[in-house]
Amino acid sequence: MDSALRDSDAGLPDALNAARHGVAIKTIRRWRRDYQRRGLPRGQTHCAVPCPRCDGAPLDERSYSELLGWYLGDGHLSRGRRGVYNLHICNDTRYEENNERILSLMTRVKPGGRPHVRRSTGCLILTVSWKHWRCLFPQHGPGHKHTRSIVLQPWQRAIVEAHPAPFLRGLFHSDGCRVLNRVRRPVAGVMKYYAYPRWQFTNYSVDIRELCCWALDLVDVPWRQSNVHHISVSTRAGVARLDELIGLKR
């Protein structure tokens, strides 16, 4: 029994554990339950979800690319008990479709994950736990993202190169906005008002801004650095293309 519980702690799925110890799956579950009743929690179900990095499990790369964008924008990892990491993404309460979308991305990247939602001032914090979030987001480290270097690993770059639009969606829908620029201009002696839509991405990390520009280059959308922390997409064709690729924030 101790050996089976140790394997369960190490993340061995119940079915394999049962086979290894020559007992029924429900016996493994009962042993774990018995331990939990005595205040000794063992073997959590989230250990059993295999990792794309450690175990070669399949990864929904399109969803991952977008979740990576959200993570770099408004996400972070925290370390829980027993080597489990919590992925938290904060998003404005107003954007209901995006909140649903983040939950769905979380469960597509961690199949069987059960995200939970907590309300904070003006925003929702969407969280899902997994031992392997650190494998998928190796950019995790102490301190704020803008105080450390954020470099994608080659396998992450390959995923974003294959799916740049979802990555941009995650970035712009978390740390970006689409604004209307109003300008006043004389036409034949009469002042006229024009409104131009513009996408703007704001992040304090120079590395994350560079990743945003790199992904915009991948989809041929022209950008400019409009201010020390801002990247702007303001040509008519560029805005139209970005609207088509990432949709409006809802």
Give the DSSP letter of residue 14. H
195 within 8 A of 182, measured Cβ to Cβ:
yes
Q: DSSP assignment, residue 223?
A: -
In the range 14-53, which residues lie near Zn ion by CB under 5 A? 51, 53
Neighbours of 96 (CB within 10 A): 12
Indicate whether 110 belongs to the interface with Zn ion (CB under 5 A). Answer: no
Residue 155 host element (H or E): helix 154-162
CB of 53 vs Zn ion, minimal distance in Å: 4
Q: Report the site for Zn ion in 177-236 (rule: CB under 5 A).
A: none
Helix (H, G, I), strand (E, B) or coil at 230: strand
Is 77 one of the binding residues for Zn ion (CB under 5 A)? no
Closer of 130 and 201 to Zn ion (Cβ): 130
CA 134 to chain centre: 12
Q: Pick one of 10, 16, 19, 54: the residue that binds Zn ion (CB under 5 A).
A: 54
Interaction of residue 57 with Zn ion, rule CB under 5 A = no
164-175 and 61-74 helices, crossing angle to 10°: 30
Give least dist CB 138 to Zn ion, A.
Answer: 10
Segment near Zn ion (CB under 5 A); pick from 59-67, 89-97, 129-137, 228-236: 129-137
Q: Which CB atom, from 101 or from 132, has the smaller least distance to Zn ion?
A: 132
Out of 25, 123, 125, 135, point to the residue binding Zn ion (CB under 5 A): 135
Beta carbon of residue 91, minimum distance to Zn ion (angstroms, whole number): 26
Please provide the size of the chain in residues. 250
Q: Is 24 exposed, middle or buried (0-12, 13-18, 19+ CB in 10 A)?
A: exposed
Is there binding between residue 163 and Zn ion (CB under 5 A)? no
State the nearest-atom distance from the C-beta of 6 to Zn ion, in Å.
Answer: 19
Q: Which residues bind Zn ion (CB under 5 A)?
A: 51, 53-54, 132, 135
